[in-house]
């Protein structure tokens, strides 16, 4: 991901809802319970970790049992220390006390709770980037780091890249929050975008990445960052072993499915913002001016743009909002046509009480056309018919806006074909339109129209328009 390109806007739950989610995550809940459990006899080692002798008691306090109980208690303790729920009082003695942030979980604001949760996330992400060291312990009980092929920065970068791609997929408008197959997610960071058919070497890298991610997502789920369906254990069984039950080889979910939770979406956005990315969220513009709204939603998908606009309108009286939108839609710069399109879409959400604002701009060269459209759609009377010049100007403005919003889409291609078919002598008249985008629109029509003769007419008209504009 490029830190200069804005990411898709996301729709976040309220901070109050997210804070409740954070408090209910298994890891934060355990960390808080251990922070309250700790007392004068609790001891930590030089790194702040709970000493081995006290891990069984900590696991018992958490109601944990089984082979992983001590490890889970140790992880919860590390989160408690890193998140400020526990404070080391004397490093030499290894004594602790409740941290200042522990009280925030019950008496703090939602933002306070989420700040504690974000600290927990950073701890777990750091742990998830560390490889399994169990097989590297020598006869003296020490870890043989020389046998470890581990690049800490590279491992962290890999996991960040995976989570970044998962964020992009979660933020998508078509299937927001839909689970992503683990093979597809691994391939998104391994397979080069310009590679047609992956080589065997690349496929092996994807398979290795899947196994790493399976372990990492299992670690990230208890902190509430992801919802994860692990890889089917049967897939990792020896080839000679008979499966315990019939398996469906076409079921992609057996290879692991993952999605960001609503809390995870919030957390990833916070991390992306911290890293310098432009990561908008619906509602960011609600308290900004109309100019910020129209420019900010220019590249939003339709659903997100409407949701943002609805929130903006909810804070304003309809007539005042309409006047502010119309004023912000003026301009002859390259972004003005798309601003006017967004203005027109926003005005479609405004009630009839905004009519005076639209009548005030009927004679405006840039706004008069869209004002007539709005008034007609709302059943207003005595709406003056537009001049031919205004119709052509509005046509150019509309196509320019669609080009900026969608590029050479099929919808735009259909619009271009319809314009050329419905208006006899269209190109002979339209090249004279005094609009900054006239030549660019005609050139686009020449590219998009499937009829070679019509496309040639459009290109000739574009040449005339550019000559008229002095270009």
pLDDT, tens digit (0-9, with 9 covering 90-100), for 241-265: 555 555 566 677 888 999 999 999 9
Max distance between CA atoms of the chain, in angstroms, equals 94
What is residue 103's DSSP assignment?
G
Q: What span, in angstroms and rounded, lies between the C-alpha atoms of 64 and 75? A: 13
Strand ranges for 66-124 from DSSP E: 86-90, 95-98
pLDDT at 14 exceeding the cut of 90: yes
pLDDT, tens digit (0-9, with 9 covering 90-100), for 195-248: 878 888 888 999 999 999 999 999 999 999 999 999 887 776 554 555 555 556
Query: Using alpha carbons only, what angle is made at residue 145 by residues 141 and 146, rounded to the nearest 5 degrees?
Result: 120
Q: What are phi and psi of 316, to 5 degrees?
A: -135, 155
pLDDT, tens digit (0-9, with 9 covering 90-100), for 410-438: 888 888 888 878 776 888 889 999 999 99
HSE, side-chain direction, 13 A CA sphere, residue 3: 8
């Amino acid at each position: 991901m490029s830190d200069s390109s804005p990411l898709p806007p996301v729709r976040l739950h309220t901070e109050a809802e997210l804070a409740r989610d954070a408090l209910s995550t298994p890891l934060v809940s355990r960390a808080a319970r251990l922070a309250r459990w700790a007392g004068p006899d609790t001891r930590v080692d030089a790194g702040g970790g709970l000493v081995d002798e006290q891990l069984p008691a900590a696991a018992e306090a958490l109601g944990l049992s089984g082979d992983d109980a001590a490890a889970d208690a140790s992880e919860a303790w590390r989160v408690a220390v890193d998140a400020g729920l526990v404070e080391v009082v004397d490093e030499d003695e290894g004594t602790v006390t409740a941290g200042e942030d522990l009280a925030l979980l019950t008496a703090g604001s939602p933002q306070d709770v989420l700040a504690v949760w974000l600290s927990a996330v950073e701890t777990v992400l750091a742990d998830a980037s560390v490889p399994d060291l169990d097989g590297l312990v020598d006869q003296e009980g020490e870890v043989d780091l020389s046998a470890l092929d581990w690049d800490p920065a590279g491992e962290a970068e890999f996991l960040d890249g995976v989570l970044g791609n998962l964020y992009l997929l979660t933020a998508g408008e078509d299937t927001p929050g839909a689970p992503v197959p683990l093979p597809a997610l691994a391939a998104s960071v391994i397979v080069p975008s310009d590679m047609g058919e992956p080589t065997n070497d690349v496929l092996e890298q994807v398979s290795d990445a899947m196994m790493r991610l399976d372990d990492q997502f299992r670690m990230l789920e208890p902190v509430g960052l992801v919802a994860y369906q692990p890889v089917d254990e049967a897939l990792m069984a020896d080839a000679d072993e008979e499966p315990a039950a019939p398996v469906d080889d076409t079921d992609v979910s057996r290879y692991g499915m993952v999605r960001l939770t609503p809390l995870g979406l919030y957390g990833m956005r916070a991390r992306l913002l911290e890293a310098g990315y432009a990561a908008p969220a619906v509602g960011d513009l609600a308290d900004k001016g109309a100019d910020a709204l129209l420019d900010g939603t220019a590249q939003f998908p339709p659903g997100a743009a409407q949701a943002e606009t609805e929130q903006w309108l909810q804070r304003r009286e309809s007539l005042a909002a309409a006047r502010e939108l119309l004023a912000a839609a003026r301009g002859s710069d390259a972004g003005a046509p798309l601003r006017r399109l967004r203005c027109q879409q926003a005005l479609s959400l405004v009630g009839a009480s905004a009519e005076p604002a639209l009548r005030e701009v009927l004679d405006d060269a840039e706004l008069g056309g869209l004002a007539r459209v709005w008034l007609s759609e709302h059943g207003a009377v005595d709406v003056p018919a537009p001049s031919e010049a205004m119709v052509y100007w509005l046509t150019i403005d509309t196509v320019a806006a669609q080009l900026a919003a969608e590029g050479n889409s099929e919808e735009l291609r259909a619009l271009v074909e319809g314009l050329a078919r419905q208006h006899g002598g269209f190109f002979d008249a339209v090249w004279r339109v005094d609009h900054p985008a006239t030549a660019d629109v005609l050139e686009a029509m020449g590219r998009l129209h499937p009829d070679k003769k019509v496309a040639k007419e459009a290109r000739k008209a574009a040449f005339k328009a550019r000559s008229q504009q002095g270009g």
